[in-house]
Amino acid sequence: MQAPKKGNIFIISAASGTGKTTLVSHLLKNNADLRVSISHTTRPPREGEQNGVHYHFVPKAEFESLIAQQAFLEHANVFGNYYGTSIAGVNDLSAQGYDVILEIDVQGAEQVRQALPEACSIFILPPSLDILAGRLKGRGTDSEEVIHTRLAEARREIEQAAHFDYIVVNDDLDKAEADLLHIINARRLQKAAQQAFLAKLLENS
């Protein structure tokens, strides 16, 4: 049996409150050939989150041991908690033929772009900073001080959008999802991705 074609790597980043997680969830629900890499983190689980499903929740000492073992494709300290993407986890999904989404922040995205220059990077923008502020406040989970800090950080993150391959504005969820899928399909149809099929076609002609 022929081994499956190695999957593409897609980096998806956004400022907090932009709707990235909801967008990625919709993509995964509607496209069986996509998988999201499950990150490791040292932050405690939020209500409803499951270990191994939403994140791999690990103690700080274990995370730092994995850093020492160079087990992460990228890792970062965000608001006092570590987050990281396992090299083994990404390679395993890609080897099975799945296109892999790395749902990570801009710090992690920069590390992945350097390690995997062939990865496709996509930044999700809010329609405006005012709407972003309203979304953060609407969560009802953070204090005014925390919201102010997150908005300041969001502006710094949005400035990094210029370094990404594609930019999608999340004003309408269905349209933003369609835009993401167009990007993913375009990457699948690039010459490099289709090279194996082309060679096989010519070989059998």
Phi and psi dihedrals of 12, rounded to 5?
-125, 120
Residue found by looking up tokens 């060679």 in the block: 199
The residue among 24 and 6 whose pLDDT is bigger is 24
Percentage of the chain modeled with pLDDT above 90 = 68
Mean pLDDT lowest among 1-10, 46-55, 143-152, 185-194: 1-10
Phi and psi dihedrals of 119, rounded to 5?
-65, 145
Kindly tell me if the per-residue pLDDT of 87 is higher than 90. Answer: yes
Share the mean pLDDT of the chain: 91
Predicted confidence (pLDDT) per residue in 108-148, tens digit: 999 999 999 999 999 999 999 888 888 887 766 678 888 88
Predicted confidence (pLDDT) per residue in 138-179, tens digit: 766 678 888 888 888 899 999 999 999 999 999 999 999 999
Cα–Cα distance measured from residue 18 to residue 170, given in angstroms and rounded to the nearest whole number: 7
Kindly tell me if the per-residue pLDDT of 1 is higher than 60. Answer: no
Quick one: pLDDT at residue 183?
A: 97
Nearest to 136 by CA among 116, 121, 155: 155
Confirm if 101 and 12 have CB atoms less than 8 A apart.
yes
Mean pLDDT lowest among 21-35, 63-77, 109-123, 145-159: 145-159
